[in-house]
Chains A and B, each alone.
Chain A
Amino acid sequence: MSQIAHIFPFLVAGWVFLCGLYGIATSRHLVHTVISLAVVQTSTYVLLLNIGFRTGGAAPVFADISPGITTVDPIVQALMLTDVVVEATVMALLLAMVVKAYEKAGTLSPDDLRLMRG
């Protein structure tokens, strides 16, 4: 049982990843596809932050604590910050494509918008 407790937060990340992929696979609306992609991205936050977590660790900000106190891992937080910005902007680009596609094709369903078949 304790073994499950040790890996449970990691399993949550995997579950969120799969939820997002399910959303993309079954999507009937392009905005929904993009948001599902954002869900997949969320799983990487969950995984990264959990990996750097340390029971009882303080936040890695030494403005009000003395240096030398055990903290959680600051690296994963920095990586996550990069990830947030990167993917937020990619979502903006994807949504712009969706807006434009709607303007040109008049539909937002990936089933109807398949000019490139074959």
Chain B
Amino acid sequence: MSGAWRIRIFFLAAAGFACLYFLAVRNLPPWGHYRGPYGDVMATSSVFQRHTTDVVNAIDYDYRGFDTLGEEFILFTSVLGVMLLLRDPEKNKGISRTGNMGQATRFGAAGSYAALLVFGLYMTTHGQLTPGGGFQGGVILATASMLIYIAEDFRVFKRITSHPIVEALDALGAAGYAAIGLSAFLFSAPFLTNWMPLGKTGDVFSSGTIAAISACVGLEVTAAFLMLGYTYLEEIVSETGEGG
């Protein structure tokens, strides 16, 4: 199809789409009047059943934890795919030390790095209490490590993030989730049953496997985003010819 025809057909189809969609949403319950019951059951029972105060996390890691296992492996698969496509062991081998950053930058970066690290760990471990959890914390932790690239140079960053251990940690996080799920079989309970002690509501060590799974997810997401960040950064470095 030529561009003009594609747009013509697009607008025809879009008109049909708009009609169908409009007719559908007209029959929805009015906005602002969510009727339940699924969400309300969750909101009223999870504090008592699971000793979590953040209901969304209780749903993600416990009630509907099996979805999150799938989601976890989607992330894992994507990272494998990106590595498959972009990672080339021969690339950027000859990159030497890039120019030194000023002392002020390095000092500032080190300070922010420590702060971000603490924040990321806090996010990961407090998911069952307040909004947060493994995914959010993991992204923060991985982003913090980008500061190494800013403060030091690409070589150091590469040495840390391209290490096989990072890959192994990524896999460990993903497999750990499944292993926690499988561990319920020891108590002849179904997969992903929350068998650990639930603790006191509002405590950091509460909510049983939710906290454990959150930590696993945090590990996997950190490792995965480190690998993603490194792989894409390598593309930039090799294109702009930095270093060399």
Binding site for B on A (CB under 8 A): 3, 5-11, 14, 17-18, 21-22, 25-26, 50-55, 57, 59-63, 67-68, 71-78, 81-82, 85-86, 89-90, 92-93, 95-97, 99-100, 111
Nearest CB in chain A: distance from B61 CB, A: 9
- Chain A residues whose C-beta falls within 8 Å of the C-beta of B67 in the assembled complex: 82
- B25 to A26, Cβ gap below 8 A? no
Residue of A nearest to B76 (CB): A89
Report the bound CA distance from A99 to B236 in whole Å. Answer: 10
New contact pairs (19) apart from A21-B10, A53-B34, A90-B78, CB-CB < 8 Å? A6-B30, A7-B25, A7-B31, A21-B14, A52-B34, A53-B32, A60-B42, A62-B55, A63-B54, A73-B34, A73-B36, A73-B38, A81-B56, A81-B60, A89-B75, A89-B77, A89-B78, A93-B81, A93-B85
Q: How large is the interface on B (under 10, 10 to 19, 20 to 34, 35 or more residues)?
A: 35 or more
A89 and B74 in contact (CB under 8 A), knowing A61-B54, A96-B81?
Answer: yes
- A25 to B129, Cβ gap below 8 A? no
Q: Is B89 an interface residue (CB 8 A)?
A: no
- A54 to B34, Cβ gap below 8 A? yes
Q: Is B243 an interface residue (CB 8 A)?
A: no
Report the bound CA distance from A82 to B85 in whole Å. Answer: 25
Report the bound CA distance from A100 to B85 in whole Å. Answer: 7
Report the bound CA distance from A67 to B41 in whole Å. Answer: 12
Nearest CB in chain A: distance from B105 CB, A: 28
Report the bound CA distance from A66 to B78 in whole Å. Answer: 40
18 contacts between A and B (CB under 8 A): A6-B30, A6-B32, A18-B18, A21-B14, A26-B10, A50-B31, A51-B28, A54-B33, A61-B53, A67-B44, A73-B34, A73-B39, A74-B55, A81-B56, A81-B60, A81-B135, A96-B82, A111-B3
- Chain A residues whose C-beta falls within 8 Å of the C-beta of B78 in the assembled complex: 89-90, 92-93
- B44 to A85, Cβ gap below 8 A? no
- Chain B residues whose C-beta falls within 8 Å of the C-beta of A6 in the assembled complex: 30-32
- A10 to B28, Cβ gap below 8 A? yes
Nearest CB in chain B: distance from A76 CB, A: 7
Nearest CB in chain A: distance from B58 CB, A: 8
Task: State which of B33, B36, B47, B56 has its C-beta within 8 Å of the C-beta of A77.
Answer: B56
Residue of B nearest to A86 (CB): B74
